[in-house]
Amino acid sequence: MFRQMNPNGHAPRAQDIEGVLRHPDGSVDIAAYARLAHRERAAAIASSAGEAMRTVREMVSGVRTRLASAATSGPASGKQHAAARRGAACGT
């Protein structure tokens, strides 16, 4: 939340703020703000978890694609060729 400021640089009093969640008697409804914060926090956590899952799916997809292409075309780089030759020379 951002703090509202009057033109003189001071924070407004509670009764001066328009759009404040209030009880029917006119007092500020703190519980309503707690519910809003809880809902926003849950939405942020769900969004972060969804983004993390998308990243994991993309990584798994990339690994599968690379493994599939390596299985069909043999070693993909000179480093892999050298490792294969070392393994053959060592008897593994």
How do the domains of the chain map onto residue ranges?
20-72
- What is the average per-residue pLDDT within 17-28? 78
Q: Over 70: is that where the pLDDT of 46 sits?
A: yes
Q: Over 50: is that where the pLDDT of 13 sits?
A: yes
pTM comes to 0.48
By C-alpha distance, which of 29, 14, 23, 34 is closest to 4?
A: 14
Residue 38: predicted pLDDT: 93
Q: How far apart are the first and last CA of the chain?
A: 63
